[in-house]
Amino acid sequence: MTQDRKLDIYLDGACAFCQWARGRIEPWDTRGVLRFRDYNNPLIAAETPFSTEQLAQEMHLGAPDGTWSVGFEAWVKILRELPGLAWLGKLLGTAPLRGLGPHAYRWVARHRQLLLPGAPPACTTETCAVPRRIAPR
């Protein structure tokens, strides 16, 4: 990750859902703290300590201090940085929700086309660089 004050969100630039999600969250970034990085570019993927397969399984976020967040934790950190949604990030980071969040994240990810109005169809090897699979933990 580069040494500036941005949060690097690693996504699949060929994935319709990733682009859809980006389009929903980017307008909330009024301070310009988010940077979207396409991990299909080998140079960008090399910035991370993860394999392309790991990056494809769930959201990965690189912070300016060099720390990494994945999945639910990544979304909590993103939301906390967005002025209009910081309250939601704080709420999701509270003790009861922090424990349930990763399970809910994986459930929503598996059912996103039903739960998120307007979401494009699930990615397949024909539409994305790597097939999507949220692995149980």
Does the structure show a pLDDT above 90 at 62?
yes
Number of neighbours of residue 74 by Cβ within 10 angstroms: 21
pLDDT of residue 60: 96
pLDDT tens digits, 107-132 = 887 777 777 777 787 666 554 554 44
Whole-number Å distance between alpha carbons of 10 and 135: 18
* pTM of the predicted protein model: 0.81
Q: What string of DSSP letters covers the chain?
A: --SSSPEEEEE-TT-HHHHHHHHHHGGG-TT--EEEEETTSHHHHTTSSS-HHHHHHS-EEE-TTS-EEETHHHHHHHHHHSTTTHHHHHHHTSHHHHHHHHHHHHHHHHTHHHHSTTPPPPP-TTTSSS-------
What's the pLDDT score for residue 55?
94
- Structure confidence at residue 48 as a pLDDT band (50, 70, 90): very high
Of the ranges 80-84, 96-100, 108-112, which one carries the lowest mean pLDDT score? 108-112
133 band by pLDDT with thresholds 50, 70 and 90: very low
Structural contact between residues 58 and 64, judged by C-beta atoms closer than 8 angstroms: no
Which amino acid is it at 132?
R
Q: What is the pLDDT of residue 122?
A: 64
Q: Read off the pLDDT of each residue in 56-74 and give the average, rounded to a whole number.
A: 94
Output the six-digit token pair for 127: 């539409």
Question: Within 10 Å of residue 81's Cβ, how many Cβ atoms?
Answer: 18
Tell me which of 62 and 105 has the higher pLDDT: 62
Per-residue pLDDT, averaged over 73-89, amounts to 95
